[in-house]
A and B are shown apart, each in its own frame.
Chain A
Amino acid sequence: MFDVDGVRRDFPILQRTVHGKPLVYLDSAATTQKPRQVLDVLMQYYAHGNANIHRGVYLLSEEATAAYDGARTKVQHFINARSHREVVFTRSSTESINLVAQSFGRQNIGPGDEILITHMEHHSNIVPWQLLCEQTHARLRVAPIDDHGELRMDEFEKCLSARTKLVAVVHLSNSLGTINPISQIIALAHQRNVPVLVDGAQAASHMPVDVQAMDCDFYVCSGHKLYGPTGIGVLYGREALLDAMPPYMGGGDMIRSVTFEKTTYADLPHKFEAGTPHIAGVVGLGAAVDYISGIGFDKIATHEKDLMKYGTAALSEIPGLRMIGTARDKASILAFVLKGAHPHDVGTILDMEGVSIRTGHHCTQPVMERFGVPATARASVAIYTTRQEIDQLVYALHRVRETFPL
């Protein structure tokens, strides 16, 4: 049995109030809160174990190195990568995508080639490819979505051409909640020998990620959406691909030897980790994936599915509310617009009732355009979310209706 009250006790921030009301945090899609288990590890690291990693011959450095490398192994197991060499730490999902665009992309994509994305991508899975297209004269193609926010698979397949050199697709849409049929997408691309990058920033805290079963070529995710610290991201890459790719940034820690004439690069994954990394962030991320694994995705998914069902039904009772994103396979995201009330006004009024949601375009402007709305209001659920909090959201939405009557 999933003990949501026990989980909530792990998150100190959930005890606070905003504007004199208990905090109802429904913006976990933007960033999740952090459990004590992660906070304690960060504190312990800085208070007790802080040292720079690799090459230090003293105890503290050895301990820090072990903690850093140990966290990599935890992340490796969390996403079921074959080897720790396939797990690269970056600052964010965004940086992971940029790394692939600039390293893999510039090496393998040329004039007239095509990069295929979908209409529901986050700006971070659009703009790095546009930059690459400007640099290489490649072309960005966009597979359409339907009115429910589902990828149109027939159209997607048609968009795959002899010129397609990479598919980059979101696993779980941050503005619609759509879960893409990722295995099917990858199978279609692989039939044409096209590698696939999966943007898992939103997905990784809601469902198990198995990069081998999925058979993706790159997978990216972010620590801060996984109950871990901000400023730490993950890039999974198939070893053979990462091996063949040139470094993204040069600097310390990514070299084997340096002379003014010739520099040779370190082995994977260090080749892609120039400079002192975010050691505390990595150690904190290790604690976060331990925390999630300790609860287990079976329980997480059951709990969150219940909340989605409950929330979808409750929101449909609000007069003039239209859900944006009604895919059959959906998680975490309840996005909507309210007739007669702009999402920003909704957000401000909800905030006064203690309810934190996100309003705006959610870094998916093409999605807003597709649905003909300037912005949406988005509530998102996580492991610590309760039905009572959904009730509080609904209560606050009725207050919005009082201020902005139909």
Chain B
Amino acid sequence: MSELRELYQEVILDHNKRPRNFRELEGADRHADGYNPLCGDKLAVYVNLDGDVITDISFLGSGCAISKASASLMTDAVKGKTLGEAQQLFERFHRMVTESELTTDVESLGKLAVLSGVRDYPTRVKCASLAWHTLRAACDDAHELVSTE
């Protein structure tokens, strides 16, 4: 079970059980829906902006522990950041969960580092990245449904 502990860390289980920023932002500046047709995970991301600074962010939806925890951690991580900074964070996060050998400086990812175990489960990478794809779509102001496929 040691491998599993690495995937389902306490922080992930906690964010799954008590997701942060788990609500709709009424009248949000930006909003997008994300969908993973392989597993049926669905989530909506809401963003308020001041210039290009993310002043508030929230999400709603249903999914596995990985996708829910990842969305929850993401909202905490990007609040107060500029869109450019959030995009950079996504790129580093994506590298962390997809690279075969861990070379990303996980320290710089803060709490998001708890999801680094996902890279050992290729089928679960999409669970971890759905929220981020959806955030990007919201920031690009794309109104269509974002899909992982």
Task: Identify the A interface with B (CB < 8 A).
Answer: 19, 341-345, 348-349, 352, 359-361, 365, 368, 374-375, 399, 403-404
B63 contacts which chain A residues (CB < 8 A)? Answer: 342, 374
Query: CB-nearest residue of chain B relative to A365?
Result: B40
Contact check: which of B13, B40, B42, B124 meets A348 at CB < 8 Å?
B124
Main secondary structure on chain B at its contact with chain A?
Answer: mixed
B7 contacts which chain A residues (CB < 8 A)? Answer: 348
Query: CB-nearest residue of chain A relative to B7?
Result: A348
A352 contacts which chain B residues (CB < 8 A)? Answer: 1, 3-4
Q: Which of B5-39 contact A (CB under 8 A)?
A: 7-8, 13, 38-39
- Per the bound structure, the CA–CA distance linking A368 and B41 in Å amounts to 13
**For the complex, is B57 an interface residue (Cβ under 8 Å from A)?**
no
Show 18 A/B contacts (Cβ-Cβ < 8 Å), sorted by A: A343-B39, A343-B64, A344-B39, A344-B127, A345-B8, A345-B66, A348-B4, A348-B7, A348-B121, A348-B124, A360-B38, A360-B40, A361-B40, A374-B40, A374-B63, A375-B40, A403-B4, A403-B8
**For the complex, is B113 an interface residue (Cβ under 8 Å from A)?**
no
User: Are the CB atoms of B65 and A342 closer together than 8 Å?
Assistant: yes
Q: Which of B22-74 contact A (CB under 8 A)?
A: 38-42, 62-66
User: Are the CB atoms of B13 and A342 closer together than 8 Å?
Assistant: no
- Per the bound structure, the CA–CA distance linking A180 and B128 in Å amounts to 39
A348 contacts which chain B residues (CB < 8 A)? Answer: 4, 7, 121, 124
Instruction: Give the size of the chain B interface in residues (CB under 8 angstroms).
Output: 19
**B68 CB, nearest partner CB in chain A, Å:** 8
**B122 CB, nearest partner CB in chain A, Å:** 11
User: Are the CB atoms of B4 and A344 closer together than 8 Å?
Assistant: no
- Contact mask B100-141 → A, CB, 8 Å, 1/0? 000000000000000000000100100100000000000000
User: Are the CB atoms of A375 and B8 closer together than 8 Å?
Assistant: no
User: Are the CB atoms of A375 and B39 closer together than 8 Å?
Assistant: yes
Give the most central of A343, A349, A359, A375: most B CB within 10 Å: A375
- Per the bound structure, the CA–CA distance linking A103 and B39 in Å amounts to 33
B62 contacts which chain A residues (CB < 8 A)? Answer: 374
User: Are the CB atoms of A344 and B64 closer together than 8 Å?
Assistant: yes
User: Are the CB atoms of B121 and A360 closer together than 8 Å?
Assistant: no
- Told that A19-B3, A360-B39 touch, could you supply 17 new A-B pairs with CB distance under 8 A? A342-B63, A344-B64, A344-B66, A348-B7, A349-B4, A352-B3, A352-B4, A359-B39, A360-B38, A360-B40, A361-B39, A365-B40, A374-B39, A374-B63, A375-B40, A403-B4, A403-B8
**B142 CB, nearest partner CB in chain A, Å:** 24
Q: A345-B8, A352-B1 are in contact. Are A404 and B13 (CB under 8 A)?
A: yes
- Per the bound structure, the CA–CA distance linking A342 and B69 in Å amounts to 12
A19 contacts which chain B residues (CB < 8 A)? Answer: 3
A360 contacts which chain B residues (CB < 8 A)? Answer: 38-40
User: Are the CB atoms of B40 and A345 closer together than 8 Å?
Assistant: no
**B2 CB, nearest partner CB in chain A, Å:** 10
- Per the bound structure, the CA–CA distance linking A335 and B140 in Å amounts to 40
B4 contacts which chain A residues (CB < 8 A)? Answer: 348-349, 352, 399, 403
User: Are the CB atoms of A342 and B64 closer together than 8 Å?
Assistant: yes
B3 contacts which chain A residues (CB < 8 A)? Answer: 19, 352
Query: CB-nearest residue of chain B relative to A402?
Result: B1
